[in-house]
Structure 1
Amino acid sequence: MLTNTALLKEAGLPVTDLGPVVAGGRHPLLFATVSGAHLYGFPSRDSDVDLRGVHVLPAEDLVGLREPDETRSRMWDSDGVEMDLVTHDLRKFVRLMLKPNGYVLEQLLSPLVVHTSALHAELVALAPAVLTRNHAHHYRGFANTQWRLFERTGELKPLLYTFRALLTGIHLMRTGEVLAHLPTLLARVPAPSYLPGLITAKAAAEHGGADGVDTVAVARDIESLHRALDGAQADSGLPDGASGFDALHELVVRARLAPVPAG
């Protein structure tokens, strides 16, 4: 898997050289991808760039008495754009993969790749072995959280996050594919016709209000998508449990005991 410069430019993202960030870190970086609104297909002009990824702690950090810092974050400015890089240690990330956690799978499978390695490609290849029908719970819960946030703030962002989560969950249950890009989802899953207009409106401001939105009609549509997700989960061909534990365990051990190849 290569850094996809063309897709980064298409998404309106700066093609960021993470070389100085990687060189300045104590631990090897397996991958970094773009998440958040840019991945979901509705960034605003003032959106930050959310980078997510995985680093590898050395074995000595895990065998002693001190608890290791498994999550690291760094923020910086790149030509006026705020960049936010958050990475988990490989073991923590893989444990999250083995739970019904769609968020980490979206990060792993994001086509907006900023930094990569051979082990990143191996993780991507193992992703299908952790997909289960229980991932519907993740998307149902995330949609409920974002809907409550929309009810409280009236902002357009959590409303689009609500629709995106439900459509991603429905598509995953039906096809086994993790797809987080809302405009693409609209071509694959039946959805309200007003969503493209909301995406356009969101481009104006990251925290803009959902002015003119018929909240009664929207609530009805959200409930309809919840029913569609319930039905897709019940009919899904995905397994009830993950099958990739042993292969992922072997990968973590190998990565911990051997140097990570350069990306």
Structure 2
Amino acid sequence: MQDEQLEQLRATLTRQRYPLLFITLSGSHLYGFSSPDSDYDLRGAHILPLREVIGLREGEETIEQHHSENGLEVDLVTYDVRKCLTLLLGKNGNVLEAIYSPLVIHTTPEHEELKALAMRCVTRYYAYHYLGFARNRLKQASHKQPPSIKSVLHTYRVILTGLHLVRTGELEANLRRLNEVFRFSSVADLIARKEAGGEKAQLEEGAVALYEAEWRRLLSDLEQSVESSVLPVKPDAQAQAGLNDLLIRLRLQTV
């Protein structure tokens, strides 16, 4: 990402109503298969002030905005910090990936605290987030002819991120790096075609069938990897207590 684009994205954040815990870049830029016409998916957490969580009138737990920023299409989604932490403990891979995205647009010292605690709360059952997401992708692919190359890449990315997580305990959302481990020639080819053809690049009629058998095999591998995973069965109790303390401190800072 160029410095000019980074500054444009940060300008978006200056108009936010609530203090921000962190904002990172997700979507195709994080996954390693962006094209020149890809939009910018910003994800993160905001901090509702104490008065908006203890009264009858509650603040916005989820904020979604989509707009154009000097030619950049920006999709911004933030959760209140309590909802963010609840989703994290509820095995939500999207939140986990947002927390650890290396493409940081805005950060705070408390974000660093969160990163130090969050992976200690990741269990082997995070696999079910990736299994569920991939199964939905598989259903969509079989009903949509022909699917976009982007959709096919998303399916590979979701499955391989889940497999890598349960087998190694490491989170990797970038499909290029994942493919250095799994080495699918089809993935490298699809990434090149997506970069050249853009967001709307389509597969040829019937081509998705070439990938479905591979996806089903990988899904089976992911299912079988759950019980043998290097990840624990339960979140670390001290890390959970640390998240609770972090939330309280963040709330009190807004008084």
Q: Give TM-score, length-normalised by structure 2.
A: 0.91
Structure 1 match to 2:151: 158
Whichever residue aligns with residue 193 of structure 1, its letter is S
**Alignment equivalent of 1:201, drawn from 170, 190, 193:** 193
Matched, 1:246 2:241: yes
Closer/same/farther in 2, CA of residues 19 and 107 from structure 1, 3 Å limit: closer
**Alignment equivalent of 2:172, drawn from 179, 196, 201:** 179
Whichever residue aligns with residue 186 of structure 1, its letter is N
Quick one: distance in 1 between partners of 2:127 and 2:7?
A: 34
Quick one: distance in 1 between partners of 2:4 and 2:76?
A: 14
Alpha-carbon RMSD? 2.0
User: Shift of the alpha carbon at 1:214?
Assistant: 3.7
Whichever residue aligns with residue 55 of structure 1, its letter is H
Equivalent pairs counted in the alignment come to 250
Structure 2 match to 1:147: 138
What percent identity do the matched residue pairs reach?
40
User: Shift of the alpha carbon at 1:242?
Assistant: 1.5
Matched, 1:256 2:251: yes
Question: Normalized per residue, which structure has more helix?
Answer: 2
Matches within 5 A, 1:17-166: 17=8, 20-153=11-144, 154-166=147-159
Give CA-to-partner distance per residue, 1:54-92, whole Å, 9 cap, x none.
110100001111232111123332331111221111000
Q: Give TM-score, length-normalised by structure 1.
A: 0.88
Whichever residue aligns with residue 132 of structure 1, its letter is T
Quick one: distance in 2 between partners of 1:222 and 1:23?
A: 42
Quick one: distance in 2 between partners of 1:15 and 1:194?
A: 32
Closer/same/farther in 2, CA of residues 35 and 19 from structure 1, 3 Å limit: closer
Is the contact made by 1:192 and 1:221 (CA closer than 8 Å) also made in structure 2? no
Instruction: Give the secondary-structure state (helix, strand or coil) at the position aligned to 1:67.
Output: coil
Quick one: distance in 1 between partners of 2:208 and 2:39?
A: 28
Closer/same/farther in 2, CA of residues 20 and 43 from structure 1, 3 Å limit: closer
Quick one: distance in 1 between partners of 2:119 and 2:36?
A: 34
User: Shift of the alpha carbon at 1:216?
Assistant: 3.2
Structure 1 match to 2:203: 210
Structure 2 stretches of 5 or more lacking a match? none
Is the contact made by 1:18 and 1:115 (CA closer than 8 Å) also made in structure 2? no
Whichever residue aligns with residue 250 of structure 1, its letter is D
Instruction: Give the secondary-structure state (helix, strand or coil) at the position aligned to 2:170.
Output: coil
Whichever residue aligns with residue 117 of structure 1, its letter is T
Quick one: distance in 2 between partners of 1:36 and 1:13?
A: 20
Quick one: distance in 1 between partners of 2:174 and 2:206?
A: 22
Quick one: distance in 1 between partners of 2:123 and 2:66?
A: 34
Is the contact made by 2:22 and 2:108 (CA closer than 8 Å) also made in structure 1? yes
Closer/same/farther in 2, CA of residues 20 and 192 from structure 1, 3 Å limit: closer
Whichever residue aligns with residue 198 of structure 1, its letter is L
Quick one: distance in 1 between partners of 2:160 and 2:4?
A: 24
